[in-house]
């Protein structure tokens, strides 16, 4: 798995987790979904993604989106 796919997979897991938490715990967990979506949107314009930095430091091989 390369860096791009790892970031997308992580974002997907976070969205699904926040929806499950919103359903079973509190609707306020939907703010996590908003945060993940906003972060994906800003990363598409700026190329800066904190998750990509963390995955890169963990040794995930690079992809084309986050150089």
Per-residue confidence band for 66, with pLDDT thresholds at 50, 70 and 90: confident
CA-to-CA separations, 16 to 11, 21, 22, 28, 58, in angstroms, rounded = 9, 9, 10, 14, 23
Query: Is residue 7's pLDDT more than 90?
Result: yes
What per-residue confidence (pLDDT) applies to 21? 98
Region 7-27: what's the mean pLDDT?
Answer: 97
Crossing angle of helices 30-46 and 3-24, in 10° steps, is 160
User: Which pair of tokens denotes residue 26?
Assistant: 């509190």
Q: How confident is the model at residue 64 (pLDDT cuts 50, 70, 90)?
A: confident
Give the tokens for residue 12.
Answer: 């997907």
What is this structure's pTM? 0.86
Give the DSSP letter of residue 47: -
């Amino acid at each position: 798995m390369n860096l791009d796919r790892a970031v997308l997979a992580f974002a997907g897991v976070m969205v699904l987790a926040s929806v499950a938490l919103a359903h079973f715990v509190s609707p306020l967990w939907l703010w996590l979904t908003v945060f993940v979506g906003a972060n994906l949107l800003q990363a598409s314009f700026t190329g800066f993604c904190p998750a990509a930095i963390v995955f890169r430091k963990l040794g995930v091989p690079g992809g084309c989106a986050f150089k």
